[in-house]
């Protein structure tokens, strides 16, 4: 496989992942960004830990979707992440009424 073929394959995989994200994003309540991954989830618990003066973050999520094109199963029942980097958690805006596309 040439480098051009590999690049084309990765581009197609990323486009497929984006389409999947677009189809499912409205099923979730939160967007979570860590240093390594991007998640959609319906339940998130972020705890700041400080044993011995060193701060780290413990993050637990349930019913999550993981943005990772190399992962065969992106839906995850429970996720636990421990990181020393910042974590960004945002609640998604849920419109009260959604009109069908015509």
Q: What is the pLDDT of residues 3-22, one digit of tens each?
A: 998 889 889 989 999 999 99
Beta strand residue intervals within 12-55, DSSP E: 30-33, 38-49
Give the whole-angstrom CA distance, residue 67 versus residue 40: 8
Q: Percentage of the chain surpassing pLDDT 90? A: 66
Say what the pLDDT of residue 96 is.
61
Which token pair is 66?
């993981």
For the stretch 33-82, pLDDT in tens is 999 899 999 999 999 999 888 899 999 999 999 999 888 889 999 999 99
Say what the pLDDT of residue 97 is.
53
How many residues does this entry show for the chain?
102
Say what the pLDDT of residue 61 is.
97
Say what the pLDDT of residue 90 is.
94
Q: Are 45 and 81 in contact (CB under 8 A)?
A: no
Say what the pLDDT of residue 51 is.
83
Give the whole-angstrom CA distance, residue 87 versus residue 80: 13
Give the whole-angstrom CA distance, residue 22 versus residue 24: 6
């Amino acid at each position: 496989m040439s480098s051009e073929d590999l690049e084309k394959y990765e581009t197609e995989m990323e486009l497929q992942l984006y389409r999947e994200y677009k189809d499912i994003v409205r099923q979730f309540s939160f967007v979570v960004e860590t240093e390594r991954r991007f998640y959609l989830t319906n339940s998130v618990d972020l705890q700041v830990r400080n044993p011995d003066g060193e701060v780290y973050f413990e993050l637990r999520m349930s019913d999550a979707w993981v943005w990772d094109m190399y992962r065969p199963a992106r839906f995850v029942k429970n996720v636990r992440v421990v990181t020393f980097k910042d974590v960004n958690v945002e609640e998604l805006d849920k419109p009260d009424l959604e009109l069908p596309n015509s």
